[in-house]
Amino acid sequence: MWHMPTLFQEVLRGVIDSVDGLVLVPSSMGKAVVRDAVGKRLRTSKVDPDLVLRIDVANLPPQFIEMLRDFAA
C-alpha cells in the first residue's frame, strides 16, 4: 500500500531535480538525534527537510518564471 504523502514528496523531488535552475535546499536528508539526560546519543533517525528551493533565474526557462510569478500572485 502506498503512503501518499511520501509518494507525493518523492514525485515533487523528482520534478525539482529535473528542472535546470531549481535546487532543493538542503539537498540531503536531515537527522534527528535523541539523547539521554547526560547527552549520550541513544538513537538517530532520518527526518525529511521542508521543500525549500533555491532558484537560479538565469538558468530557468522563461515559461517557468512566468508560472512561478502566477503561483506567487
Q: Which domain holds residue 21?
A: 4-72
Q: In the structure, what pLDDT confidence band is assigned to residue 33 with cuts at 50, 70 and 90?
A: confident
pLDDT at 46: 81
pTM value? Answer: 0.49
Within 10 A of 4 (CB to CB), how many other CB atoms are there?
Answer: 8
Residue 49 has pLDDT above 80, yes or no: no
Q: What are phi and psi of 22, to 5 degrees?
A: -110, 135
Q: In the structure, what pLDDT confidence band is assigned to residue 42 with cuts at 50, 70 and 90?
A: very high
Number of domains in the chain: 1
pLDDT at 1: 65
